[in-house]
Structure formats: C-alpha cells, structure tokens
Structure 1
Amino acid sequence: MELVTPGIGLLFWQTITFLIVLFLLSKFAWKPIMKALNDRETSIENALSAAEKAKLEIQGLKAENEKLLAEARLERDKILKEATEAGNHLIETAKQRANEEGDRMVANARESIENEKRAAITEVKNMAASLSVEIAERILRKELSNPQAQQALAQDYIKEVTLN
C-alpha cells in the first residue's frame, strides 16, 4: 500500500521543492513571461487598433472614390450634353447655310433663265423682223418688176388711204 499512499517525508520534500521552484520561477521566470505576455497583448491591441484605423481609412477612401466617380459621371454627362448641343447647333447652322445657298442658286438660275428667255425672244423678234423685211423685199421686187403691177399697187394704196 505504500505505493499508493506516499509517505510524510516525501510529501514534505516535494512541498519544499515545489515552493523553491515556485519562488525561483516567480523571481526569475514569472516577470519575463508576464512581460512577454503583456508585450504580446499590447502588440495585438496595437495591430487591432491599426487594422481598425486602416478599415476606417479604407471606408473614407471608398466614400471619396464614390464621390469622385459621381463627380466624374456628372462631368462626363455635362461634356456629352455640351458636345451634343454643339453638334446640333453645327448641323442647324449647316442646314441653314445650305438652304440659303440653295435659295440663292435657285434665284440666280431663275434670273439666268429669265435673261436667256429675254435674249431668245429678242433674237426671235430680230429674226422675224429680218425675215419679214426679206420676204417683203422679195415680194416687192417681184411685184414692182412689172410696171402694170406697180400701177395697180399704187392704186390700192391710194384707195386704202383716206384723207381727212
């Protein structure tokens, strides 16, 4: 039974040894271990604090990025609107100029046609007058070549002319 129950002397020496080891550990090992644990706890807290700060900073940057993106979208929309308006204005100006140029060309064409028409009418009148004179000249030569025909023509003119 001695194996199961220890003796009083053994218990005494084990207690003394335990107290000496406890004293030595508390004197030399306990403070460095506690210091290491405290340092580790402090570094973990600092790391958690830095992580929280980084998280807050990232959220701030994210919000700032969203704000910048919104501003960029607004600026893009504004530029697109201005470009569209400028394009539309340019198209309208070009249409107006084209219409004015077309109207001017039509007016010039009408004036040119009218001038050519007048010139053609004048030329036709001149040709008609020339042909009339030539025909009259031929008829008169033919009729006036005969003295009796000349006499008859003079008599006809005299009859047509009435004296007042």
Structure 2
Amino acid sequence: MDKLIHQFEFGLFFWQIIIFVGLILLLKKFAWKPILDAVNDREEGIKSALLSAENAKREMQNLTADNEKLLAEARAERDLMLKEAREMREKMIADSKTDAQAEGARMIEQAKTAIQAEKNAAMSELKAQVSTLSLEIAEKLLKTELSNKDSQKQLVEKMLGDVTLN
C-alpha cells in the first residue's frame, strides 16, 4: 500500500476518474435505466397479477354465493312444486271420494226406486191373480150352489132377507 501511495500519479488518477464517471454514465443510460424499468415493470406486473388474483378470488366468492343462492331458490321452488303436487293429489283423491260417494248414493237411490217399482208391479200382478182366483172360486161356488132349484130359492130368499129397503 505504501508503494501505491508513493507512486501516485495525478494524470493517471484523472483519466481513471473520467473513465469511471463515463462508465457510470454509460451504465446509467444503457444498463441501469433498462434494468430499473424492467424491475419496475416486473413489480407492476406482480401487483396487477396480485390484484387480478384478488379480483378473481372475490368474483369466485360472489359466484359461489350466487350459486348457493340459486341452489337454495331451486330447492325452495322444488319443495313448493312438491307441496302443490301433494295438495293437488289430495284434492283429487277427496274429489274422487266425494264423486264416488255421490255415485254410490245415486246408485242406491236408483236401486231403491227399481225395487219399489218391481214391488208395485208384483203387488199389482198378485192383486190381479188374487182377484181372478177369487172370481173363479166364487164362480165355482155359485155353480155348485145354484145347480139345484131348492138351493137357488133358499139363496134368493136369504138375499132378500138381508136386503133392507130404505
């Protein structure tokens, strides 16, 4: 080190300083600025990527929330449709029961009417047969009673005795 201090030359030192300053200026113009610009661009790129990632994360959360909301609405709509279907089924069953009961009552009433009509027809036919039989029996009895003259006279006298004049 002593040797360096004793051999110091001002001209060489001056030219080394000028070359060093020139090198610094050249590096500043051609190397430092592009390097710093590249570093700044990279930093901006990373910031924008982080912002994009954060926005994507928020958007994904919003989409997830929207999907859950849509899913909940779809479930509610499905439940409502099932409830309406059950109510409609129960109403149809109740209507069918009511219709069946009304049809059964109508059929019973028709059967009662038919039975009454058959009964009336049978009674009319029975009365007709009874009256025909009664006339036939009376005719046979009268023929037997009136076959001889003495019994005819007795019958006429008996009838005349029963009849009273006003």
Alpha-carbon deviations, 1:49-95, whole Å to 9, x = none? Answer: 11110110110111111112112211221122122112211221221
Match of 1:113, as an amino acid? I
Show structure 1 runs of 5+ residues with no match: 1-7
Equivalent residue for 1:126? 128
Compute the TM-score of the two structures, normalised by the length of structure 1: 0.76
1:89 aligns with 2:94: no
1:30 aligns with 2:32: yes
Alignment RMSD (CA, Å): 3.0
SS at match of 1:138: helix
> Superposed, which structure 2 residues align to 1:140-159 within 5 Å?
140-151=142-153, 153=155
Equivalent residue for 1:113? 115
Equivalent residue for 2:50? 48
Identity %: 48
Equivalent residue for 2:7? none
CA distance in 1 between partners of 2:54 and 2:37 (Å): 25
Aligned residues: 151
> Residue 48 of structure 1: CA displacement?
1.2
> Residue 138 of structure 1: CA displacement?
2.1
Equivalent residue for 1:79? 81
Alpha-carbon deviations, 1:80-133, whole Å to 9, x = none? Answer: 212211221122122112101211210121122012102211210111111110
1:57 aligns with 2:26: no
Q: Which moved more, 1:143-152 or 1:128-137?
A: 143-152
Compute the TM-score of the two structures, normalised by the length of structure 2: 0.75
